[in-house]
Structure 1
């Protein structure tokens, strides 16, 4: 199975989006609620329907970019949040994207990538962040499987990808996951050195 643009476009067209919980995830909502600087530059890659971007927008964050390889989730988002700046909805391949940010939010993107791309993901995140920028969000914590997406993984595995690029500030079991994801999510905050 190739996890390419056509794969994701078909999933959205057929509404086969079991990962989509229909709202901002509670761990990210709590984190967003702790942010004070509404002018911070924020990226949400592989954003899908991006309820996190909607939540940020509704809280007055002005510099949020949303990227996805598929067009349909961006259309869905624009229809749902018509006053969100269209130029901040970017259809592109994450690995070909270049701009820098103060914060990148991770929500079901890492686990949707082929696991062979994990170190490349970590490297790319480092290049997309400003000095002292943060990568924050949720990673799945269940055994790595060939059947995905989502693909699992573990704290010890994740550390190997990020430890040489970031100061690992937080990597702990989420206390506020939705019930179907209880005990299967790690909340992360990695700071670029």
Structure 2
């Protein structure tokens, strides 16, 4: 299975505009989740954010404590071009697995599925470390059979449940009713809480 933690691989994808996962805007499941959040002071992380349409949406809704992390500079620069007053210190160029900080909320949108499945246990442990007590991990995970070819790599309810259940309270793990059309019936909405 191809190792996906490869900066050159991702840089080439952005430079060649091979970003088929990019919906061009915040997707409905994330938008509707964000729309019900009342505390605009939440410290929020979007890892593997790509062009970070979720961060742009949050920013425009008044959430100013948003941090965006990506492995390569191109998507961070794209966000900064769209939101010129987005603070540089909240644009993190780096490796998710090396990040040392704490957050109230982490949004998951096409990051988990881009990682080599061999890294999934480490992903869960790092999410746990990054969240404050009672912090939440929310977003979407793909729901289709795990493949050797990717990204995206698949997964299903049972595999996600067995990964997250030992250390998180699973508040929701269910088929998205509001996926964008190309992803309909292929996404699970997840809401986890660190206890």
- Please give the TM-score of this superposition, normalised by the length of structure 1: 0.99
Match of 1:2 in 2: 3
Equivalent residues in 2 for 1:10-159, closer than 5 Å: 10-159=12-161
Listed as ranges, the gaps of 5+ residues in structure 2 are none
Q: Secondary structure at the match of 2:151?
A: coil
Q: Give, in whole Å, the separation in 1 of the partners of 2:96 and 2:16.
A: 23
Deviation at 1:2, TM superposition (A): 3.1
Runs of 4+ displaced beyond 3 Å:
none
> Paired residues, what number?
193
Deviation at 1:165, TM superposition (A): 1.1
Listed as ranges, the gaps of 5+ residues in structure 1 are none
Q: Give, in whole Å, the separation in 2 of the partners of 1:22 and 1:149.
A: 18
Report the RMSD for the aligned CA atoms in angstroms. Answer: 0.6
Deviation at 1:62, TM superposition (A): 1.6
Deviation at 1:148, TM superposition (A): 0.5
Q: CA deviation digits over 1:82-109, x for unaligned, max 9? A: 1111110110000001100000000000
